[in-house]
Chains A and B, each alone.
Chain A
């Protein structure tokens, strides 16, 4: 609200709704510069990063608590609760996009550790890859539906969130088993 300059009907539907607002140009410029700087830093840090086996396994295992938090935030965000939302977080993009992006990243990470897991147990390595891919498709579909204008009720958001978390828990559990067999430390 502090940086909002003008409320306008951006989508031309005759109504000025939530989110239809133009920001202060200075604030927008500062934010864009900040994004640019941080994106470059992130890119450089990413280039430098050489993950260890422990990093990779930990990333997959700790995704579940993170995803649980993100689904919790999605359920109370304006994307689900509309104007009854109480969270004051600035949500322009749905948390579903973040969850999908995390899962996409985890698939990349998993590709790196899959050969090691396969050496121990081919079935398990295949199963986990399939589960990860299935979970990402599931979340992708939710996001696509939301983007196409579907508004989930709080109960539906809960049902879908629980499905995703259960699937995530199964994946994390299997990867924790593989880590134990490979003597790879999961960092708490």
Chain B
């Protein structure tokens, strides 16, 4: 065997000398070599052994020149090329795949060492040349290839960093990359073994061993030379043909357990922890949407579930060393559970076996339970940090659906992304950077800063480039929002101010309704103030209870936020309409004309008991719904701020906001008292009408947010952000028509009351006129 190997190596060396390397530097030669190795494998698939062998030898010659500085690497490459050429000659796809992987990863190892060494010498150009011979983490929806090494060399070239620091960045980037590729190769080998693809298994195993040799020095420095030697032996056994694959794979995985070539910084750990938890929660949701009655009904939903599962598994791989140190059995169990989940989703994707959604949900719950056990206390809120990743992934889906012309799916992805934003980052942003939150909301809906909003773009089926422009603006704002939230509050003063604004903004509407109504309840109607105030009192108590509940179950409560607000707002509108009707027909008419129809009123009084009871109930409901719909929302926003700055700071803001709100209320009441009775009534009517119109606009918008009412933007109409915030005016047909209808209803009610009054006046005065004329 040795003699044969020596002959093959000698032949290979001879062939390397004969085959002329291409012109160009190290990177060009290495790139050509890679293409040649790939072409060789393809040629063998096509059955052309001679072409395959020739391509292998061409690759060998190129690598031999490219790696001229490392005798050890050249010898390894020569051996691999010899084995590859022999395998090609006999049509052995498995042997060629393993040899090609071995030769190429040897080149990667040399390039990694040389790139770091050159950076340490300050030789930027040489380091850049070697960095062209490298691999990257495969990009996913959540990650792009890191550019840390590249940017470190730019800083070094500009004199902004020292060679040692640049070399450390280059080293970390490469170690992180090859560590990730090592795990991916092991997973690929296991997958290939499961489906019986021996070519892929051999190739992935050889790649894994090659990547291992790149990260080996880091392993030795963390675990000691003896452990490194043992692990190397495991890898040798793993790639040896005829071995017990599954057992050797387990041995290799055990050796790597808890190892990370370039350990994560604490902030990165927290981000990964958030991704793991958040992505995992989305898996059963997506899967459940794609499966019905044992069949896959929407394959893209299954792909989404796989994407989120893969994102979670990637995050788990990065966190594994930290989690193992915390609880080894639970970490292993989590790893196994994630693998099971992946297998179930893959089987459904192939439609081999479609797992029941409840099963997928149960496996996910098990994993989430383990996460709960494993995460240290400082990671408990980590899921929130992944909101931005989820929004980005959902917006990717929006763009893909729009590109495919599936506008319904694109709109549902928009609402989903907005939902994640609204329930998570928005609540904190309102306190930390209100203008940023408005920008983002504008881009999701009706536009901001010259960019159309997504809802407008989707409705008019805009071109991909237009959507991409708004997306880019959204990405910039979201990324700024992420750093603002990450940085926490800039000062207590900003939190106090923002809390005060939230309370004032939310309280103003309620106070205007209440002040207007209570000011109009004078004379005999004064007794109706009590039920109104009772409703307000009840709402304040309910808001207090909500505050207590929110402190314990903020997340789950927030999930109902918009829907609850929508329902309470609808109740508020209904009650307000009823009261308005009553207001015009009874208060206005009766109070003004009581001298003229005293007799009539005494008749009414007899039958008016049940009417009065209904009015009392109506006023309690009005008082309650007016205050609670604002109170609920305020509690949620303030909770988010409490997490940022503590209860004391937030309460100062609340006190300020309440004081301002009360001041407005008192002002309105005082103003009304000074006015003559009739003018006051007119003002009150106008005020309530205005509040109703704003309330209707805001409610339609809320109903659109929860997807209960469609969105039809008014083309060409652009409204400033404040018009939505303060007047409930949004450029959609649904909102504007509803507001116009509400105004028309009130005006109609007034006109009806007026005409009724004229007729009654005429009726009452008719006998007198008749008598006088007689």
- Complex Cα distance, B42 from A141, in Å, reads 9
Min CB gap A77→B, angstroms: 12
**B139 at the A interface (CB under 8 A):** yes
A65 touches B45 (CB 8 A): no
Residue B480 is within 8 A (CB to CB) of chain A in the complex: no
Q: Which residue of B lies closest to A50 (CB)?
A: B465
Interface residues in A, total, Cβ within 8 A: 57
- A71 to B129 CA separation, bound complex (whole angstroms): 32
Q: Which residues of A contact B303 (CB under 8 A)?
A: 69
Contact A159 B41 (CB under 8 A): yes
* Partner pick for B97 among A65, A150, A159, A165, CB 8 A cutoff: A159
The reply to whether B197 and A158 form a contact with Cβ atoms under 8 Å apart is yes
Does chain B have a CB within 8 A of A127? yes
Q: Is the CB of B136 within 8 A of A169?
A: yes
Tell me which of A127, A142, A185 contacts B28 (CB under 8 A): A127
Given the contacts A69-B303, A86-B352, A123-B27, A51 and B132 also touching, CB distance less than 8 Å? no
Instruction: Find out whether the CB atom of B150 lies under 8 angstroms from the CB atom of A177.
Output: yes
**A145 contact set on B, CB distance < 8 A:** 46
The answer to whether B463 has its CB under 8 Å from any CB of chain A is yes
Knowing A86-B352, A188-B475, the reply to whether A163 touches B136 (Cβ < 8 A) is: no
Is A6's beta carbon under 8 Å from chain B? no
Which residues of A have CB within 8 Å of B31? Answer: 127, 130-131
The interface residues of chain A lying within 8 Å CB-to-CB of B151 are: 180-181
CA gap between A180 and B118 in the complex, in Å: 21
Contact of B45 among A62, A159, A176, A188 (CB under 8 A): A159
Q: Are A185 and B465 within 8 A (Cβ)?
A: no
Contact with B along A118-150 (1 / 0, CB 8 A): 000101101100110010001001100100001
CA distance in complex: A152, B27 (Å): 33
> DSSP class of A's interface residues: helix, strand, loop or mixed?
helix
B55 to chain A, nearest CB (A): 12
Contact of A138 among B38, B299, B395, B475 (CB under 8 A): B38
Check if B463 sits within 8 Å of A45, measured CB to CB: yes
Q: Are B199 and A159 in contact (CB under 8 A)?
A: yes
* Contact of B203 with A by CB under 8 A: yes
Task: Give a binary string over A42-77; 1 marks a CB under 8 Å from any B CB, 0 the rest.
Answer: 000100111110110010011011001100000010
A177's closest neighbor in chain B, by CB?
B150
A115 to B481, CA, bound (A): 34
Q: Shortest CB–CB separation between residue B654 and chain A, in angstroms? A: 38
Interface size band for B: 35 or more
Give the dominant DSSP class at B's interface. helix
Cβ contacts under 8 Å, B132 to chain A? 123-124, 127, 174
Is residue A23 contacting chain B, with contact meaning CB distance below 8 A?
no
Question: For A162, what are the chain B residues with a Cβ–Cβ distance below 8 Å?
Answer: 188, 200, 203
- Asked if B64 is an interface residue, CB under 8 A from chain A, the answer is no
Chain A, range 163-182, C-beta contacts under 8 Å to B = 163, 165-167, 169-170, 172-174, 176-177, 179-181
Q: Which residues of B contact A186 (CB under 8 A)?
A: 144
A122 to chain B: closest CB distance in Å?
11
Do B28 and A62 have beta carbons less than 8 Å apart?
Answer: no
A92 within 8 A of B: no
A181 touching B472, Cβ below 8 Å: no
The residue that A172 contacts in the complex, of B142, B145, B188, B468, with Cβ under 8 A, is B145
Is A1's beta carbon under 8 Å from chain B?
A: no
Contact A127 B27 (CB under 8 A): yes
Q: Name the residue on B nearest A167 (C-beta).
A: B38
Q: Report the bound CA distance from A130 to B139 in whole Å.
A: 21
Whether the Cβ atoms of A160 and B45 lie closer than 8 Å is yes
Say whether, besides A127-B27, A172-B145, A64 and B138 are in contact (CB < 8 Å).
yes
Q: Does A91 contact B (CB under 8 A)?
A: no
A87 to B42, CA, bound (A): 26
B469: which A residues are within 8 A, CB to CB? 52
> Do B350 and A86 have beta carbons less than 8 Å apart?
yes
Residues of B within 8 A of A49 (CB): 463-465
A93 on the B face (CB < 8 A):
no
Q: How far is the CA of A68 from the CA of B203 in the complex (A)?
A: 18
Contact check, B150 vs A180: say whether CB atoms are below 8 A apart: yes
| Cβ contact of A187, chosen from B39, B41, B471, cutoff 8 A | B471
- Is A155 an interface position by the 8 A CB rule? yes
With A and B bound together, what is the CA distance between A50 and B466 in angstroms? Answer: 10
Q: B140 contacts the other chain (Cβ, under 8 Å)?
A: yes
Residues from chain B with a CB closer than 8 A to the CB of A166 are 38, 135
Contact with A along B234-252 (1 / 0, CB 8 A): 0000000000000000000
Within the assembled complex, what's the spacing in Å between the Cα atoms of A145 and B47? Answer: 12
Give the complex CA separation of A49 and B476 in angstroms: 22
Residue from A54, A76, A155, A174 within 8 A of B350 (CB atoms): A76
Q: Nearest Cβ distance between residue B96 and chain A, in whole angstroms? A: 10
Complex-state Cα separation, A61 to B145, whole angstroms = 9
User: With an 8 A cutoff between CB atoms, is B147 at the interface?
Assistant: yes
B36-63: which residues lie under 8 A (CB-CB) from chain A? 38-39, 41-42, 45-46
**Which residues of A are found within 8 Å of B27, using beta-carbon distances?**
123, 127
Instruction: Tell me how far the C-beta of B133 lies from the nearest C-beta in chain A, rounded to whole angstroms.
Output: 9
Contacts of A123 in B (CB 8 A): 25, 27-28, 128-129, 132
Given contacts A127-B132, A188-B144, contact A181 B150 (CB under 8 A): yes
Are A177's CB and B472's CB within 8 A?
no
**Interface set, chain B 283-326, CB cutoff 8 A to A:** 299, 303
B135 contacts A173, C-beta separation under 8 Å: yes
Looking at the complex, which one of A55, A130, A154, A177 makes contact with B468 (CB distance below 8 Å)? A55
- B93 interface contact, C-beta 8 A: yes
How far does the Cβ of B190 sit from chain A's closest Cβ, in whole Å? 14
Contact yes or no, B144 A61, CB < 8 A: yes
Q: Is B141 an interface residue (CB 8 A)?
A: yes
CB contacts under 8 Å to A, within B379-437, are 392, 395-396
> Is B356 part of the binding interface, using a Cβ–Cβ cutoff of 8 Å?
no
Residues of chain B lying within 8 A (CB to CB) of residue A52: 469
B window 145-192: CB within 8 A of A: 145, 147, 150-151, 154, 188, 192
**B35 CB within 8 Å of chain A:** yes
Q: Find the B residue at minimum CB distance from A145.
A: B46
Partner among A65, A154, A174, A185 whose Cβ is within 8 Å of the Cβ of B140: A65
Interface string of B91-121 (1 = CB under 8 A from A): 0010001000000000000000000000000
Q: Is B351 an interface residue (CB 8 A)?
A: yes
A59 nearest CB neighbor, chain B only: B468
In whole angstroms, what is the CA distance A184 to B744 when docked? Answer: 53
Given A141-B42, A172-B139, A54-B472 contact (CB < 8 Å): yes
Residues of chain A with a CB closer than 8 A to B350's CB = 76, 86
B195 surroundings in chain A (CB, below 8 A): 154
Among B42, B352, B475, the residue within 8 A (CB) of A185 is B475
- Please tell me which one of the listed residues B97, B139, B463 contacts residue A169 in the complex, with CB atoms under 8 A apart: B139
B465 close to A62 (CB less than 8 A): no
Q: Which of A55, A127, A145 has the most CB of B within 10 A?
A: A127
A: residues with CB less than 8 A from B are 45, 48-52, 54-55, 58, 61-62, 64-65, 68-69, 76, 86-87, 121, 123-124, 126-127, 130-131, 134, 138, 141-142, 145, 150, 152, 154-156, 158-160, 162-163, 165-167, 169-170, 172-174, 176-177, 179-181, 185-188
Known A-B contacts: A45-B464, A51-B465. Give 20 more (CB < 8 A): A48-B463, A58-B468, A61-B139, A61-B144, A65-B139, A68-B138, A69-B303, A123-B128, A127-B28, A154-B197, A155-B199, A155-B200, A158-B199, A159-B45, A160-B42, A169-B135, A176-B144, A177-B145, A180-B151, A188-B142
Q: Lowest 7 CB-CB distances: which A-B pairs, in order?
A: A173-B136, A180-B147, A173-B145, A176-B145, A177-B150, A86-B351, A188-B392
A selection of 6 A-B contacts at a CB cut-off of 8 Å is: A76-B350, A155-B199, A159-B93, A159-B200, A169-B138, A177-B147
